Structure 1
Amino acid sequence: MVMARHWYSSSPVVDGHPLLDERGFWPAYLADLADGFAPEAFGSDAGDADAMLDTLHDRSAWPMFTVPLAGGFAIVVHFNSGEEFTTTDYFLTHPDWSQDLVLASDDQDRIGPGLCWPELAALLEAPPDAAGVTGSHARLLLLLPVLGDAAIPEEAVTAVVEALVAQGAPEASEALARRLLQGHPVWGVEDWWFDEDEQSWLCEGDHSPRKVPLGDHLPPQQRAALEACLTPR
């Protein structure tokens, strides 16, 4: 079961942001999505990737990353090594909310996918003066595990290739990019459609939290702000 985010306050959570610049981070972080690709495909090597996996799965230090969004929203990525296996939880948060929304989790509950491509594309640029993960390339790669969209456009492939190359991968990274866009192996890709009445993307996936409009329990003003945050500009 996904651990509620407030319980993380009593867990050994550490700031994961410095890890983003470490050699081996991306092949370790995206290992589940990049099955069949060696760390060298990311411009890294096996030793660095293995060392980073050990860091990400350290029971005494659970990395956390914050992707700031417009309107005070954020997606918080928590590694959880409190059980037999390390899992990763992705929360959509806002300081005014009493309870965060779970976008995805690869624990035994299998929650996902949590974003379609138009939404992820809308989140790539950080708001001005934001703190956390602000670079568009790192934001894209960090949120890729939440994505699971059966209708990926070619522009998505181009964007992922550019992000990979910016993080040290070889120029010829199209095959890796296409593999990463095939979705997390826990939930894969699903069909999405935009509900005009609800003004929200909805997902067909059995395990997706997006079968209902995102934030449908929120007050109208907060719901509108969330919709604006996830709308391509």
Structure 2
Amino acid sequence: MSENPRMAMARHWYASAPVVDGLPLLDEPGFWAAHLADLGEGFPADAFGVDAADAGAALELLHDRSAWPMFRVPLAGGFAILVHYNSGEHFTTTDYFLTHRDWPDSRALVLASDDQDRIGPGLCWPELAALLTAPAGSTGITDPHARLLLLLPVLGDTEAPPEAVSAVVEALVAQGAPPACEALALRLLAGHPMWGAATWTYDDDDEQSWICDGEHSPRQDPFGEHLPDAQRASLEAVFAGRTPG
């Protein structure tokens, strides 16, 4: 697999930065309003069931220059998605990496990033839906509702089905949002404002992979095409909701 110099630099930067486990932040009352603030632009904090002060306090924690939260979403087959907040002197960005237990940090694949390169979307709805159940015995973000909301910024799919709206509403309500939050769910499913939603097609003949037509998407080529055959087959299984061999 060829290395992505930008990702190698980013991961090296994180290795020398004040990265902390973000899992405890999920208990902050304003966490989801803060994490999804860009996606939910135009919706007040009370749409998430919290007040503005709680959302502001959570945002300060996510943007703390002395402690950069990292969230680990464990997947089957040794894979994981890492959500990294990166707070520099002037602004905060969020990177979403796909990693594997056998890869060096420099080999992490980027799914999305809201820095100036605006990388995304990195997932279509069938893939995100397949990643909501954590492997048995895993550690990190294991609650399916939290996994869905945490990874929503990576999603950008113009053909997300009605059940996607229901799933997001259910997740929001489980995290404290009022039951009548369908409008918010629809806005969150419309895609990150830096790259929006895109069209995805599935190559069922040769590549066995979803392909995205988004201008800024890292998924314009078959996913993991540079991986060894066994790892790529495992990755395809995980993102299709199958048990990897």
Q: TM-score range by the shorter chain?
A: over 0.9
| Structure 2 residue 240 is matched with structure 1 residue 216 | no
TM-score (normalised: structure 1): 0.98
| Structure 2 residue 205 is matched with structure 1 residue 205 | no
**CA-CA distance at 1:232 after TM superposition:** 3.2
Q: How many pairs align?
A: 233
Q: Matched residue of 2:168: which SS?
A: helix
| Equivalent AA in structure 2 for residue 227 of structure 1 | E
| Structure 2 residue 150 is matched with structure 1 residue 138 | no
Q: Matched residue of 2:219: which SS?
A: helix
**CA-CA distance at 1:83 after TM superposition:** 4.5
Partner in structure 2 of residue 74 of structure 1: 80
Moved over 2 A (4+): 1-4
Q: Matched residue of 1:14: which SS?
A: strand
Q: Deviations over 1:96-125 (max 9, x none)?
A: 123000000000011000000000000000
Partner Cα distance (2:88, 2:72) in 1: 20
Partner in structure 1 of residue 24 of structure 2: 18
| Equivalent AA in structure 1 for residue 109 of structure 2 | L
Q: Deviations over 1:191-222 (max 9, x none)?
A: 00001110000000111000001110000000
| Equivalent AA in structure 1 for residue 68 of structure 2 | W
Of 11, 15, 18 in structure 2, the residue corresponding to residue 9 of structure 1 is: 15
Partner Cα distance (2:225, 2:234) in 1: 12
Q: Matched residue of 2:129: which SS?
A: helix
Partner Cα distance (2:152, 2:22) in 1: 17
Partner in structure 2 of residue 178 of structure 1: 186
Partner in structure 1 of residue 43 of structure 2: 37
| Structure 2 residue 56 is matched with structure 1 residue 64 | no
Partner Cα distance (2:27, 2:143) in 1: 12
Of 155, 174, 186 in structure 2, the residue corresponding to residue 166 of structure 1 is: 174
Partner in structure 1 of residue 235 of structure 2: 226
Task: Give the unaligned 5+ runs of structure 1.
Answer: none
**CA-CA distance at 1:190 after TM superposition:** 0.3
Partner in structure 2 of residue 148 of structure 1: 156
Task: Give the unaligned 5+ runs of structure 2.
Answer: 1-5
Q: Matched residue of 1:87: which SS?
A: strand
Partner in structure 1 of residue 3 of structure 2: none
| Equivalent AA in structure 1 for residue 128 of structure 2 | L
Partner Cα distance (2:81, 2:103) in 1: 13
Partner Cα distance (1:5, 1:222) in 2: 21
Partner Cα distance (1:139, 1:118) in 2: 14
Q: Where do residues 102-113 of structure 1 align in structure 2 (5 Å cutoff)? A: 102-113=110-121
Partner in structure 1 of residue 98 of structure 2: 92
| Equivalent AA in structure 2 for residue 210 of structure 1 | R
Partner Cα distance (1:42, 1:81) in 2: 24
Of 31, 52, 55 in structure 1, the residue corresponding to residue 58 of structure 2 is: 52
| Equivalent AA in structure 2 for residue 225 of structure 1 | S
Q: Matched residue of 2:96: which SS?
A: strand
Q: Deviations over 1:122-180 (max 9, x none)?
A: 00000000000000000000000000000010000000000000000001111100000
TM-score (normalised: structure 2): 0.93
| Equivalent AA in structure 1 for residue 80 of structure 2 | A
Q: Where do residues 120-135 of structure 1 align in structure 2 (5 Å cutoff)? A: 120-135=128-143
Aligned-residue Cα RMSD (Å) equals: 1.0
Partner Cα distance (2:34, 2:111) in 1: 21
